[in-house]
């Protein structure tokens, strides 16, 4: 039996003037899943999220969000969805608690104080309830934004690059909250450029030029890419990386400290490109499974993702 779908849309399209941002997009997300939304800047992720939550009307396509028609039922969808934008969008001259009180009144929530106490506790914001939102660090601002998004107990969370600019510890704690919410049945669609975050998703969807290019679990996406990766260990790798980027068969060559990751899909061409560097003193090579970041860069370079 197929799982019940929180999102089920087909052929979605959206243009702004002559610029077509999303076209022919199909997306199905089961309830209770954390789905990662990946893609280059300008690939249509934010526009898609705004169509799904009822803030934008599609120019083409059809489908449902939480069983409601994305065209006809936008006001009803907005009441059942939590949407967190890229930028902090709350009042910086109000306290944490005052911002949550404002959101609770917007939704005309019953038992407002009880709900606010609960979300403050869950988000770790109890000790900061009287602090002005503008005085919070980036990580605490994101916690406040998430708390406001879940205050009305939505069935679906749409998060648009929610941890951009946040330190690693705060990002991990933020994702722990997301997983706790998903464990209780909430569906999450989250756009991100962080590969460690994508790996924490149950499934990922890669967008290119407004359409889905590849989707599956992180392991499935890596396996389907057909990518081959060699890793060099040594010093002075910047020059080697620059030379390899010009070699046939090399799709990417990136130095990370004393390691150099070189990837491509043509094994023979890749080995030929590496041959001049095999006997360089102090530089050793091993083949490793490609990482999700290797695959992401590979997908970025594909014509269908960049056209």
> Model confidence over 256-293: pLDDT tens digits?
989 999 999 999 999 999 999 998 899 999 999 999 99
- Measure the CA–CA gap between 144 and 20, rounded to whole angstroms: 34
Backbone angles phi, psi at 138, to 5 degrees: -55, -40
**Do 76 and 127 contact (CB within 8 A), yes or no?**
no
Digit-coded pLDDT (tens) for 9-61: 999 999 999 999 999 999 999 999 999 999 988 889 999 999 999 999 999 99
What is the widest separation between alpha-carbon atoms in the chain? 72
Task: Delimit the CATH 3.30.70.2070 region(s) of the chain.
Answer: 228-289
Enumerate residue ranges in the chain where pLDDT < 50.
1, 305-307
H/E stretch holding 113 reads helix 112-122
User: In which region does residue 246 sit, left (phi positive, over 0), alpha (psi from -120 to 50) or beta (all else)?
Assistant: alpha
- Homologous superfamily (CATH) of 228-289 is VP9 protein domain (3.30.70.2070)
Domain 5-222 class in CATH = alpha beta
Let me know if 7 is exposed, middle or buried by CB neighbors in 10 A (0-12, 13-18, 19+). Answer: buried
User: Cα separation of 34 and 189, whole Å?
Assistant: 6
């Amino acid at each position: 039996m197929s799982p019940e779908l929180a999102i089920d849309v087909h052929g979605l399209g959206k243009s702004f003037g002559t610029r077509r941002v999303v076209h022919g997009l199909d997306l199905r997300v089961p309830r209770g899943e954390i789905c990662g939304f990946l893609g280059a800047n300008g690939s249509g992720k934010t526009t898609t999220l705004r169509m799904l939550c009822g803030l934008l009307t599609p120019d083409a396509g059809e489908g449902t969000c939480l069983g409601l028609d994305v065209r006809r039922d936008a006001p009803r969808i907005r009441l059942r969805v939590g949407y967190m934008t890229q930028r902090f969008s709350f009042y910086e001259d109000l306290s944490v608690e005052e911002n949550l009180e404002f959101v609770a009144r917007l939704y005309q929530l019953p038992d407002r104080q009880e709900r606010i106490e609960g979300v403050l506790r869950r988000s770790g914001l109890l000790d900061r309830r009287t602090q002005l939102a503008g005085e919070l660090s980036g990580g605490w601002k994101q916690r406040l934004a998430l708390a406001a998004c879940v205050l009305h107990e939505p069935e679906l969370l749409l998060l648009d690059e929610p941890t951009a600019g946040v330190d690693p510890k705060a990002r991990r704690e933020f994702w722990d909250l997301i997983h706790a919410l998903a464990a209780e049945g909430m569906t999450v669609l989250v756009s991100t450029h962080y590969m460690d975050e994508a790996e924490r998703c149950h499934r990922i969807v890669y967008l290119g030029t407004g359409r889905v290019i590849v989707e599956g679990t992180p392991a499935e996406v890596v396996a389907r890419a057909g990518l081959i990766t060699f890793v060099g260990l040594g010093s002075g790798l910047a020059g080697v990386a620059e030379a390899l980027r010009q070699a046939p068969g090399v799709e990417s060559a990136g130095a990370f400290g004393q390691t150099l990751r070189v990837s491509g899909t043509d094994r023979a061409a890749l080995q030929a490109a590496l041959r001049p560097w095999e006997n360089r003193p102090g530089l050793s090579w091993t083949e490793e499974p490609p990482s999700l970041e290797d695959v992401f860069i590979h997908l970025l370079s594909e014509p269908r993702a960049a056209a």
